[in-house]
Every structure is written in structure tokens, then in C-alpha cells.
Chain A
Amino acid sequence: MKKSKADPKGVLTGSHFMDGDYALAEGALAAGCRFFGGYPITPSTETAERFSERIPVVGGVFIQMEDELGSIASLIGAAWGGLKAMTVTSGPGFSLMQENIGLACMLETPLVIANVQRGGPSTGLPTLTSQQDMMQARWGSHGDYEIIALSPDSPQECFDMTIKAFNLSELFRVPVFVMTDECVGHMHEKVVIPPAEEIEIVERKWYKGPKDKYLPYKCDSDGIPFMVKTGQGYRFHITGLTHDERGYPLLNAECQKINVQHLIDKIKNNADKIIEMEEEQIDGAEVIVLSYGITSRVAFRAVQQARKEGIKTGTIRLITVWPFPEKKIEELAKKVKAIVVPEINAGQVFLEVDRCSRNKCKVVSVPHLGGWVHNPDDIFKAIKEAVK
């Protein structure tokens, strides 16, 4: 892994009062993103607007594509053209992108997609919050594959996690999703952007060997293949078909197994390195409230109330939602009475917690179908009920 410091050109060092949508764009520019292709959709448009204003003066290019199918396709092209690339969208646009999210996974293309989630299905609640695309982020495209998804809970984290998303995408050559939501996207808070030299950037894993020896999908010792960009004489071929090390199609079960297993393993085998979470008062807790994104801020009110009433309540805030911290949940389930999972959907990450708990503890979903954040009382009631 080659690390470097951020290019100061893209870093707006200082303290800002900024919304989450703008912070996504600033994080990307700090991370070295120099291509944005997108399509306007509420509540993510402010990110595109910010890019359109900022990227021309930092030496990048902005294009508003004709739709989200085109946006994500342009990103993959831009990545193979040598740039770091990002787009932003919300539910309906995220649905349209699923096709080429699959291509990005298959081609092992580093790129970042932010989803400022809104209520669905369909047009749903364009201006109101939800966390209803969490499972779609994991499973939205067809076939077997793994991705990485992060969940910021504030404009500051929109900035920080977008940088992290770019670094992970380069490290593992995989699309990384920043799964925020309308509430965080539109919320203004202080965002501190550090000096460029304090921002660590993972460089693309460029191939430097002889031109005629380049094999686009031959894994290095770390399990990740080297990348090149167009126009340098490698004359390489890349296909969305199942392919061998040369990038040539090879349509049989043996090659499929190697190809797809690699896409899964490069994330699964590195899950411990990727997964990040915040835990509080876990030791001795009888109940754990597990949440992510904006819901963890809302749930904390309920947690405080529960602690006041003497319920030993611990919290876990997922920063990385995918890959999922399976082992952690399995261990935890053996120690606590219950895990309470509030989220602004009908119970999506709840299903993962429930699966990983292996029936060793009670797992309680506290759903909210979107449009607003939870009433902390509902979470409190669920905590109380869970420890009964």
C-alpha cells in the first residue's frame, strides 16, 4: 500500500459551518477526487452543486450526466482513465446505478458513491430521511460480490468518511458507499478540515512492470491486482464477463469460481482490517443498543434514560456497516440479554444482527419507516421491554 499526503489544492483547511452534502464533496476533493459524474436527485443535489463549483478550480472535471445509469458508467470510465471518481445519489438513482455497480465490482474499479438516503420505495419521500437502502447497498446488483459501506452520523463524518471511502476503494479496488441520509445531508454543523499534510491518502496500486507482461487480474501477494490507466501502451483488455488473469472472457464454472471467489475473499478476508465501530459501556451490559448513522445520535437519548433507570445499557455504533461485524455480534450475543436495533427502515441491519446472534440472545428491531428520526421514547420502551 502506497500512502501519501493530500494534495493541498483540494483541501479547504479550516473550520466551516457546513451541511453533510457539502462535506461529502469536500471530503472527496481532499481525498484527491478529480472526477464527478452525477445526476440531480433530492436530497443529494447539494453535493453535486458543490462539486460543480469547486472541482473546476482544483483541476478536475464535473459532468452532469443524462441519468444515473450514465453517471456510474462515467465513473468507471474515469477511474480507468486514471482519476479518482465519485458520484452522489439517493434511493431512485441508487436503484438505477445497481447495474454498473456490478460492473465496477467485476472490473475491480475503485470509486465512491454517496447515497443520501430518503424514504422509499419508489419516489417515496424525496425530502425526508430514511435508512432504507442499507440492504440494497449490500445486495443491490445481481450476482455474488462484496462491497464496503460506511455510515456517517454528522457533517464532520461525511467529510472524514468520504476520505476513508476513497482510501478503502483504492486499497481493495472496490466501490465504496457512503450511506448517509437526508437528516445528516441537510444538517449544518461545524466541520473541521485539517491541513493537507495531516490527511493520509492511499494511492492507486499502479503497475510498473514491463508493458507486454501486464495481466490486469493477476493478484499481487496482498490479493489485490495492479491497475493501469488508458493511453500508456499496455493495450489491456477488460470485460464484465467472467474473466481470467489476462482479463479475457472465460465462460465456465472453474473460472467463475476463481473470479467470483476472489471478489468475495478480498473483502471477507480483510474484514477485520476494514470494520470500524464505536462501543461504549459494553462490559457488563445487559442490553446493547446497536445503531448507525443518524439513528445512533437519536438512540443515545434513550440510552441515557435507560441508564438513569438502572438498566445496564451498552452501545455499538457501526461505522462500517458492510462488511458486517459478524464475529463481534456472535461474541456479544453470548454475553448480553438482548440487542436492540433501531434503524429508519423496517428492520434491515436487524436481520444481520439476528443472524449473527445465533439465538444466543434476544434481538429486537425498532423499526421506523422513514420521514423522520425515531422518537427516543420508542427506543427506550424497546430497551425496557428487552431486559424484562
Chain B
Amino acid sequence: MTEKKQPQRNPVERILRMDRMPHIWCPGCGIGTVVTSFAEALRKEETDLDNIVVVSGIGCTGRVAGYMKLDSFHTTHGRAIPFATGLKLANPKTKIVVFSGDGDIAGIGGNHLIHAARRNMDMLVILVNNFNYAMTGGQVAATTPIDANASTAPFGNFEYPFNLPHLVASAGGTYIARWTALHLRRVTKSIQEALHRRGFSFIEVITPCTTLYARRNRLGDGLNLLKYYYDNSEIQHNADTKDLDITYQGKLIVGKFVDKEKPTFLDAMNQHLSKVLGDKYTPYGEVK
């Protein structure tokens, strides 16, 4: 390994656009740690980086695509998944990773999320959940726990938040995990696993938003939030996804909940059309 001969350089540097550093994320923000896990997973798996494509939407996590030294697309708010769908179908040999935030993927892009899961579209979605719309100043989100304060929920949130693993599992996702920014090795391992899966993989990572969510709710700094994760998260692999609701500063059930195989969109399309059309049909974009 050439990296070992250059100990002064971070081994994930070849995966990051170092010419774009420093990044825009706040001190104590958890997005960067998830990026590190992602880069680490790619490094450990010795993946052909030329074949990895990262797609982000808009928001703090939406900036991830811009920092990855990979084919990378920073798209529009909510539309990373359908954009990624087109990329995958047009060029099936590539491995698509959608890296974006809770507001982007589960809020404005929620419909795309469930439909991509339903189709078992072959992609890995890494959703960084910081419980609020951070880029725009800490507004309430579809993931904000009840009672948490947000700039558009100044008296506390009273809307039920999404239980994302349950949502994606119900829609048909085939690999589903949740971790926090504290579980970096676990996140890395999950990404490593998911990179080998074919189908719709979904990893939710709960991260601290120190500048907005934590400050508004007087939860301290990044370290305090990591302490909260440490004290309150409980690893329950294969937990029933309907039991994964998140309450304000309550218990966080993490782990790998779903890991199964079923034909992807392209597999199903090729199998079905080959069966019906016979010789008239040449299977599309088969990945050897």
C-alpha cells in the first residue's frame, strides 16, 4: 500500500477534493464524520473509485458531492434520487451513492425516496439526519422530534416525525440501517456492506447540528450530543422497524434492521421482458 509510505498524508485524501478544503460545515457538525466513514469504506473495500458516483441534493449534507473526488453531482432540492435513477439506468455499471440530508431526501424528496425503494432501484442512500433544516437556519423538519424547538416551531414541534427505517422498509428497501455520528466504525461497516448489495440500500446517520438544533434546544455542543448518543443509543439488529420512532432526547435504537435480496428494477425489467418478448429482447445493461 502506497499510503503507508506517506504517513503524513491522510489516506482518504485521494477520495476527497482537497482543493476545495476547508469545507463549509460548522465546528461540531456531524456531516464531516459521515463523509470520513464513507471515504474510509471506499478505501477499505478498495473499490474502483472511477465507478462510484455521488449525487447530492440541497442543504448542508447536499454539499457532500462537492467534496468527493469522484464523479459527483450537486443537484436540486429533493431530486437527488430521481437524478440518480437516471444515472443508474443510463450507465448500469456505475455504483450510485445518494448522499443528502433529512430535509432533502425525506422532506421535499420523500415521494422519490419511497418510489425508488418500491422499485428496488440499485443505489445506496446515505441520509444524514440532523433533525432540522440547517442550511436555511434551523427550521422544523419531517424528522424533528416532538417538543424540540425549531425556528419555525418556536413553541416546540407538535408534528409527528417520520420513522425513516420503517418508511423505507415498508416501501421495499432491501438494506436498512441506522447509526449515530458516534458509531463511526459501524457506519463505515454498514457502507462497506451496502456497497456490495444490489438493490435499494438506506443508511440513516443521526448527527449533531450544533449551530442550530443543539443551540436552540440548549443541548450543548457536539460533545454533549455525542454523549447523548452514547447514553441513549441501543444496538438492536433486526429490530422491528415499526419500533424505531425517535422522541426528543429519548432512546435511539440503532443497528441493521433489514438485509435481504430481491431483484432490482433492472433485474426485474430484464427478467420480465426476456420472458415475455423472448428473442426480440436483448437484456439491457447487464452488469457482469
Q: Say if the beta carbon of A69 comes within 8 Å of chain B.
A: yes
Given contacts A74-B85, A82-B91, contact A69 B273 (CB under 8 A): no
Q: Say if the beta carbon of A249 comes within 8 Å of chain B.
A: yes
Residue in A59, A231, A238 whose beta carbon sits within 8 Å of that of B51 in the complex:
A231
**Interface range, A side:** 35 or more
Contacting pair A67 B72 (CB below 8 A): no
User: In chain B, what residue has the closest Cβ to A60?
Assistant: B284
Contacting pair B89 A78 (CB below 8 A): yes
Q: Say if the beta carbon of A239 comes within 8 Å of chain B.
A: yes
Select the residue from B86, B93, B269 with max chain A CB neighbours within 10 A.
B86
Grouping DSSP codes into helix (H, G, I), strand (E, B) and loop, the A interface class, with mixed when no group exceeds half, is mixed
CB of B279, distance to nearest CB on chain A (Å): 10
User: In chain A, what residue has the closest Cβ to B272?
Assistant: A56
Contacting pair B91 A231 (CB below 8 A): yes
**Interface range, B side:** 35 or more
Residue in B49, B73, B115, B265 whose beta carbon sits within 8 Å of that of A80 in the complex:
B73
Give complex CA distance A35, B265 in Å. 15
Given contacts A35-B89, A103-B76, A231-B93, contact A248 B281 (CB under 8 A): no
Give complex CA distance A72, B275 in Å. 30
Report chain A residues within 8 Å CB of B112: 66, 69-70, 73
Report chain B residues within 8 Å CB of A236: 71-72
Contacting pair A66 B50 (CB below 8 A): no
Contacting pair A235 B49 (CB below 8 A): yes
Q: Say if the beta carbon of B44 comes within 8 Å of chain A.
A: no
Contacting pair B91 A74 (CB below 8 A): no
Contacting pair A56 B75 (CB below 8 A): no
Q: Say if the beta carbon of A63 comes within 8 Å of chain B.
A: yes
Chain B 262-288 per-residue mask, 1 if CB under 8 angstroms from chain A, else 0: 000110010001000100111011000
Contacting pair B277 A74 (CB below 8 A): no
Contacting pair A73 B69 (CB below 8 A): no
Given contacts A66-B112, A81-B90, contact A238 B74 (CB under 8 A): yes
Given contacts A56-B273, A66-B111, contact A237 B87 (CB under 8 A): no
Given contacts A56-B281, A231-B50, contact A65 B73 (CB under 8 A): no
- B232-279, CB < 8 A from A: 265-266, 269, 273, 277
Given contacts A232-B50, A238-B74, contact A73 B111 (CB under 8 A): no
- A48-68, CB < 8 A from B: 56-57, 59-61, 63, 65-67
Report chain A residues within 8 Å CB of B196: none
CB of B3, distance to nearest CB on chain A (Å): 18
- A18-69, CB < 8 A from B: 35, 37, 56-57, 59-61, 63, 65-67, 69
Count, A-B residue pairs, CB within 8 A: 151
Contacting pair B277 A56 (CB below 8 A): yes
Q: Say if the beta carbon of A76 comes within 8 Å of chain B.
A: yes
Q: Say if the beta carbon of A100 comes within 8 Å of chain B.
A: yes
Give complex CA distance A74, B85 in Å. 6
Q: Say if the beta carbon of A229 comes within 8 Å of chain B.
A: yes
Given contacts A56-B284, A103-B76, A237-B66, contact A231 B94 (CB under 8 A): yes
- A193-233, CB < 8 A from B: 229-233
User: In chain B, what residue has the closest Cβ to A69?
Assistant: B79
Chain B 66-84 per-residue mask, 1 if CB under 8 angstroms from chain A, else 0: 1001111111101101111
Contacting pair A75 B86 (CB below 8 A): yes
Q: Say if the beta carbon of B53 comes within 8 Å of chain A.
A: yes
Contacting pair B89 A237 (CB below 8 A): no
Q: Say if the beta carbon of A83 comes within 8 Å of chain B.
A: yes
Chain A 73-97 per-residue mask, 1 if CB under 8 angstroms from chain B, else 0: 1111111111101000000000000
Contacting pair A230 B53 (CB below 8 A): yes
Give complex CA distance A232, B50 in Å. 6
Q: What would be 5 A-B contacts, judged by CB atoms less than 8 Å apart?
A: A59-B284, A65-B115, A74-B85, A230-B87, A237-B66
**When A and B form their complex, which 10 residue pairs have the shortest distance between CB atoms, in order from nearest?**
A77-B86, A81-B90, A74-B86, A70-B82, A78-B86, A81-B91, A73-B82, A239-B74, A233-B50, A78-B90
Extra contacts, 15 of them, besides A78-B89, A236-B72 (Cβ < 8 A), are A35-B86, A56-B281, A56-B284, A66-B82, A66-B115, A73-B86, A77-B84, A77-B89, A85-B90, A99-B76, A100-B79, A229-B90, A231-B53, A235-B69, A248-B66
